[in-house]
Amino acid sequence: MQTANKFSVSRYAPERGAMAKLTSRDSVLRRLDWPILLSALALSLLGTLLVWSATRNRTQLNQGDPYYFLVRHAMNTGIGLVLMIGTIWLGHRTLRGAVPVLYGISLVLIIAVLTPLGATINGAHAWIVIGGGFSLQPSEFVKITIILVMAMLLAARVDAGDIAHPDHRTVVKALLLAAAPMGIIMLMPDLGSVMVMVVIVLGVLLASGASNRWVFGLLGSGVAGAVLVWQLGILDEYQINRFAAFANPELDPAGVGYNTNQARIAIGSGGLTGSGLFKGSQTTGQFVPEQQTDFVFTVAGEELGFIGAGLILVLLGVILWRACVIARETTELYGTIVCAGIIAWFAFQSFENIGMTLGIMPVAGLPLPFVSYGGSSMFAVWVAIGLLQSIKVQRPMSA
* Of residues 77 and 336, the one with the C-beta less far from another protein: 336
Interface with another protein, residue 360, by CB under 8 A: yes
* Region of 27-35, 79-87, 135-143, 153-161 interacting with another protein (CB under 8 A): 153-161
**Shortest distance, CB of residue 391 to another protein, whole angstroms?**
10
**Shortest distance, CB of residue 232 to another protein, whole angstroms?**
31
Interface with another protein, residue 272, by CB under 8 A: yes
- The phi-psi region of residue 257 (left if phi > 0; otherwise alpha if psi is between -120 and 50; otherwise beta) is alpha
Q: Give the span between the Cα atoms of 111 and 124, in whole angstroms.
A: 15
Interaction pattern, residues 84-123, with another protein; x per rule: CB under 8 A:
----------------------------------------
Interface with another protein, residue 335, by CB under 8 A: yes
Buried b (16+ CB within 10 A) or exposed e, 351-367: ebbbbbbbbebbbbbbb
Non-local CB neighbours of 285 within 8 Å, separated by 6+ positions: none
The torsion angles phi and psi of 130, rounded to 5 degrees, stand at -85, -30
* Of residues 135 and 211, the one with the C-beta less far from another protein: 211
* Of residues 112 and 265, the one with the C-beta less far from another protein: 265
3 state SS of 222: helix
The footprint of another protein on residues 25-44 (CB under 8 A) is none
* Region of 40-48, 90-98, 170-178, 341-349 interacting with another protein (CB under 8 A): 341-349
Interface with another protein, residue 54, by CB under 8 A: no
Report the interface residues with another protein, using CB under 8 A. Answer: 2-4, 9, 57, 155, 158-161, 164-165, 203, 206-209, 262, 264-272, 281-282, 284-287, 301-302, 305-306, 309-310, 313, 316-317, 320-321, 324, 327-328, 330-336, 340, 343-344, 347, 351, 354-355, 358-360, 395-396, 398-399
